[in-house]
Amino acid sequence: MARLYDAIEPEVVSMDMLQNAVESLRADGDNQVVPKEDKLDYSAVNSLRLDFRSILRMENLWLFSNLTKLQMDNNIIERIEGLDTLQKLTWLDLSFNNITNIEGLDTLTELTDLSLYNNRITNIENMDTLKKLNVFSIGNNQVDDENSIRYLRRFDNLRTVCLRGNPFASKPDYYTFTIAHLPQIHFLDYKLIDEAPREEALKKYEIQIQQLITTEDQDREKDKKSDDKKKQHQLHKEAFVENMDQNQLFTAMFKDDSEGQKLLLVPGADELVAQIEEKFVAIVHTMFEFGLKEKETRDKEIDDFWICVNEAKDENTRRAAVIVDEFKEYRTQLFAKEDLEQQGVSSAVAAEYDDALTNLRNKLMALEIALVDQLEETIQTFERNLGEMVSNFTESMRANFGLLRELQAFFNESIINLCVAAVERYMKGELDDEFPDETRDLFADKDTILNACQTSDEIHRSKLDQREDEMFSRISNWLTTMVDNIHEDEEYNRNRKRIIEISRLIDYLRADIEDM
């Protein structure tokens, strides 16, 4: 029952409205057994009902970060929007609105129930991220298209679909087509699908579905491949040797080098390039392998470190917890004895308790300080070791880059020789027809050609330098960040938290006697 919005004054989602909606959801209702809290805690609200209110725009909902259920049916909403922050939403009801397009749902990955009943939607689309969708209601809309149905095939968890009231649903093949194309659903239009008609329908659309499946499989395969590739690249990047597994670096050298490319047309350059490329790639490949291996060693080292640190922390925490438990036992006994004799605590007992508290505090603090010392030492060792590894990596890589530069120098020399020879021959007029026109003036005289060679060489060198710098700066950055984080989290934050906890505990326990 979509209404025309111009007939009604649209409402705005305001603070008052939200407050009312939240309050009205509570079971006790008007019966105020619990005093009203002055400030509304939006993040504590799990479900919200904003129905029958002539809301036009979905707005001001971003505060409800823990919302799991949102009802906004029977409004005059035209666009789905403003839901990006409600990532925990599992239940969304937007039925009886004026929505024309499915959109803005991309972040709602937890959504299981979605109702868009009675809207003006023509296409089922833009829902790819809703992997957990279980119930989907799109009845009474304008869906009139087989592709929309096929679109629903991607939701593996979909069990219930409502499609009636759409133009498509009035077609004679509607039922068979739908149950054949959506084998995962159990209920269509809220009716259980029987086995027999489903088999029949499957038979009927066998070939089409087969084709569909094939395409879907291919797509999936493709996705998987690109995924794998991405992962691989990520791995290489973490080893700081990305794009070094093949000849990318070599090709990159010639990419921006227009003059150099021209120079390659010199007779004899082909062989030279092939030869150099082979050597170059071989060196780059050793670098690549070395990088991966180094990463493995580093990872193992880091794992080792964390296992040991966590063990130490757990052990320490456990011991502290035992001390606290023992104290609590003592406390219960102490007060139990006292209660039998008189009301309240005698001063002698209070003094004893106070002493015991101080003792407890000292013990816990001593444990903590011991842990801090232990961790500090371990972290320092780790830092040193890792630093050594990184410098080792850098050294080795630098040596390899040196090899690459030598190779480049050799290449440059050879190409100069070739060019000079070519120029001489050109002068003699032996090579007339072998050069394209634009190259010809390059070979007009020796100086030009030498200049060109030099430019090309510089470009190549700068490429190598660039790659080297990038690699080294990234690895040193990585090291500093990690070590800094460890210092920050393990040494500073953890210690502060523990100290606060201890003082909280002591304060809480001291309250026992202070009240008296």
Q: Does position 516 bind other proteins by CB under 8 A? A: no
* Helix/strand/coil percent split, the chain, to 5: 65, 5, 30
Separation of alpha carbons 135 and 232, rounded Å = 37
Instruction: Determine contact, residues 456/260, Cβ cutoff 8 Å.
Output: yes
Closest distance to other proteins from the beta carbon of 324 (Å): 5
Separation of alpha carbons 368 and 372, rounded Å = 6
Instruction: Determine contact, residues 149/125, Cβ cutoff 8 Å.
Output: no
Q: Which is nearer to other proteins, 45 or 263 (CB)?
A: 45
The contact pattern for other proteins, residues 369-408, with x = CB under 8 A and - = no contact, is: -x--xxx-xx--xx--------------------------
Q: Does position 309 bind other proteins by CB under 8 A? A: yes
CB-based contacts of 10, cutoff 8 Å, min separation 6: 54, 55, 56, 57, 76
- The region of 87-95, 353-361, 461-469, 499-507 touching other proteins under the rule CB under 8 A is 499-507
CB-based contacts of 500, cutoff 8 Å, min separation 6: none
Footprint of other proteins on 325-364 (CB under 8 A): 364
Closest distance to other proteins from the beta carbon of 305 (Å): 5
Which residue from 206, 223, 314, 441 is in contact with other proteins, where contact means CB under 8 A?
314
CB-based contacts of 254, cutoff 8 Å, min separation 6: 260, 261, 264, 460
Query: Any idea which residue has 């809207």 for tokens?
Result: 119
Q: How would you label 203-218 residue by residue, b for 16+ Cβ within 10 Å and e otherwise? A: eebeeebeeeeeeeee
Closest distance to other proteins from the beta carbon of 371 (Å): 8
Closest distance to other proteins from the beta carbon of 351 (Å): 22
Q: Does position 33 bind other proteins by CB under 8 A? A: yes
Q: Which is nearer to other proteins, 54 or 374 (CB)?
A: 374
Separation of alpha carbons 378 and 309, rounded Å = 8
Q: Does position 500 bind other proteins by CB under 8 A? A: yes
Closest distance to other proteins from the beta carbon of 299 (Å): 14
Q: How would you label 102-130 residue by residue, b for 16+ Cβ within 10 Å and e otherwise? A: beebeebeebbbbbbbbbebbbbeebeeb
Q: Which amino acid would we find at residue 204?
A: K
CA angle 225, 228, 233 (to 5 degrees): 125
Closest distance to other proteins from the beta carbon of 34 (Å): 4
Q: Does position 311 bind other proteins by CB under 8 A? A: yes
Size of the site for other proteins (CB under 8 A): 42
Beta bridge partners of 137: 115, 162
CB-based contacts of 347, cutoff 8 Å, min separation 6: none
Which residue from 8, 282, 307, 444 is in contact with other proteins, where contact means CB under 8 A?
307
Which residue from 3, 153, 313, 425 is in contact with other proteins, where contact means CB under 8 A?
313
Closest distance to other proteins from the beta carbon of 483 (Å): 14
Q: Which is nearer to other proteins, 79 or 494 (CB)?
A: 494
Q: Does position 29 bind other proteins by CB under 8 A? A: no
Token pair in block for residue 330? 């003592």
Query: Residue 72: which of 56, 58, 88, 51 has the closest Cα?
Result: 51
Closest distance to other proteins from the beta carbon of 328 (Å): 9
Which residue from 304, 413, 445, 465 is in contact with other proteins, where contact means CB under 8 A?
304
Closest distance to other proteins from the beta carbon of 122 (Å): 39
> CA-based diameter of the chain, in Å?
124
Q: Which is nearer to other proteins, 51 or 301 (CB)?
A: 301
Query: Any idea which residue has 């409800």 for tokens?
Result: 64
Closest distance to other proteins from the beta carbon of 491 (Å): 13
11: phi then psi, degrees, rounded to nearest 5: -100, 155
Token pair in block for residue 298? 């580093």
Q: Which is nearer to other proteins, 382 or 426 (CB)?
A: 382
Look up residue 17 and give its DSSP letter. Answer: H
Q: Does position 505 bind other proteins by CB under 8 A? A: yes
Q: Which residues bind other proteins (CB under 8 A)?
A: 26, 31, 33-35, 37, 41, 44, 301, 304-305, 307-309, 311-314, 317, 320-321, 323-324, 364, 370, 373-375, 377-378, 381-382, 494, 497-498, 500-502, 504-505, 508, 511
